[in-house]
Amino acid sequence: MGSTHNYLAVDLGAENGRVIIGTLEEERLSLVEAHRFANIPVRLSDGLYWDVLHIWSEIKSGISTVVSRYCKQLDAIGVDTWGIDFALLDKKGALLANPFHYRDKRTDGMYAEAFRRMTRESIFENTGIQFMEVNTLYQLLAMVVRKSPLLKTAQTLLTIPDLFNYWLTGKIICEFTNATTTQCFNPHKRDWAYPVLGALGIPEHLFRPVIEPGTVIGSLDLGVANEVGTRRIPVVAPACHDTGSAVVAIPAEGKNFAWISSGTWSILGVEVDQPVVTEQTLKYNFTNEGGVFGKWRLSKNVMGLWLLQECRRTWARQGEELSYDEITYMASQARSFQSIIDPDFGGFLHPDDMPDQIRQYCNNTGQSVPQDKGELIRSVLESIALKYRWVLERLEEITTTRFERIHIIGGGTQNRLLNQFTADVTQRTCLTGPVEATALGNVLMQGIGLGHIESLECARNLVRISFPPSVYLPGESKEWDQAYGRLLEVIKR
């Protein structure tokens, strides 16, 4: 690791996309954000879509900016994105339609149809993935039920990062970590779950062979290289699922830790050597997603900062632009534990007015209704932390292990109030950072793929040295214990 290496990470999230330069020099990592753009879904009369052509244009602009202004010598490019969503290509490799957004309502009610065709138990046994109606499996089933003509024309299904890797290189591949999020993949066989696809009437020919994270896909397409003004740089598949990349960048030592990837979604989990597909994990609706170096992420999603994002968007539409720092400060000044919500209540998935939906929830559950913004946001943050405790307790029950510390990574680590709440409610030491875990993990897997970094342990050591974590120690727990009892009551309703 004596030489200087520069990697370009394309990091696409549900709110924005970034093109980031990662530099490895003298056994230290640094990041520079070269290009940022909004990732705004588009609503049409027939549903909610991602604007992938806009994203593709911004990716190319970002690469061009990096090459012309920052760094002419790049070792590689890697792409990571959210999971679940997908694009369909025809037999000539042309995009058939803009991909739907996972929050589109067309999957509502698809559980009943899926379980009519195959039992819940059998689907879980074959996939090991938590049940969420936004999953790829139910998006495809919705197309089957509606007799979408696209399924007759489509030749290939590509998840979102696979689509951009295809446009970057001309190579059609399916990367492992993102494939495992679809609920169309069998973790035991490390191949597509063909019995599930067959039972639900989903065309099996759409699914292509899967490659491992760290694989060099190929070189940048000549036409794209000429357009952005660079040579044919190697394109490496990192952990293409953003959580998979983020977990690579956990600055942990040893094995006795849990982690929270904190962002639009919060994902709480641990690393395991084998997928845990049992009656317990089915009962608690946990998931087994693929990691790197043979690891699996045993975890569960919690509706995270999406709740704050939607409140903020609603207030902006009403003419009041508030920063995250401003609304978090309001929450810090509000009285604690006035009302408790289940962050994963179905009505919060795609509301038109999140503050109103939260107030309705509190009223319907017989609780005090938040009267101002500070009270409402404090209830949200306290409730997210309380749900973390619920997930952690289930996780420790499943693994028969007590996890002594929690690593919190991702953009949500900037919310210090939520970090402290998490330490208080779980009574565990919480270590936060890096903020840019996803981009770092992307960069690290490029370095590993090219042989510049030896192992996952070496990668995490680099993160510890380059981005020392902040520490949150647990405080008084009595009030949190009482509030946790209230969460258990609202979950039962």
For strands 470-472 and 429-432, give the pairing: antiparallel
What is d(CA 109, CA 107) in angstroms, rounded to the nearest whole number? Answer: 6
What is d(CA 228, CA 79) in angstroms, rounded to the nearest whole number? Answer: 16
User: By the 8 A CB rule, do 245 and 251 touch?
Assistant: no
Return the half-sphere exposure (C-beta side, CA atoms, 13 A cut-off) of residue 51.
16
Q: Environment class of residue 54 by beta-carbon count within 10 Å: exposed (0-12), middle (13-18) or buried (19+)? A: middle
Q: Is 242 a catalytic residue?
A: yes
List helix spans (H) across 273-372. 279-283, 306-317, 324-333, 354-364
User: By the 8 A CB rule, do 306 and 262 touch?
Assistant: no
Return the half-sphere exposure (C-beta side, CA atoms, 13 A cut-off) of residue 161.
38
Return the half-sphere exposure (C-beta side, CA atoms, 13 A cut-off) of residue 42.
11
> How far is the CA of 143 from the CAs of 112, 147, 317, 334, 349, in angstroms?
15, 6, 33, 46, 21
Look at residues 82, 115, 368, 118 and name the one whose alpha carbon lies nearest to residue 243: 82
What is d(CA 269, CA 260) in angstroms, rounded to the nearest whole number? Answer: 7
- Give one DSSP letter per residue of 73-108, joined into a string: --SEEEEEB-SS-EEEE-TTS-B-SPPBPTT-GGGT
- Token reading at 493: 């309703």
**Helix and strand element counts for the chain (H, E):** 19, 21
φ, ψ dihedrals at 95, nearest 5°: -70, 130
What is d(CA 217, CA 449) in angstroms, rounded to the nearest whole number? Answer: 10
Report cis status (omega within 30 of 0) of the bond before 351: no
User: By the 8 A CB rule, do 302 and 268 touch?
Assistant: yes
Strands (DSSP E) contained in 325-465 are 405-409, 429-432
- Say which of 11, 75, 162, 242 is annotated catalytic: 242
**Catalytic amino acids?**
242
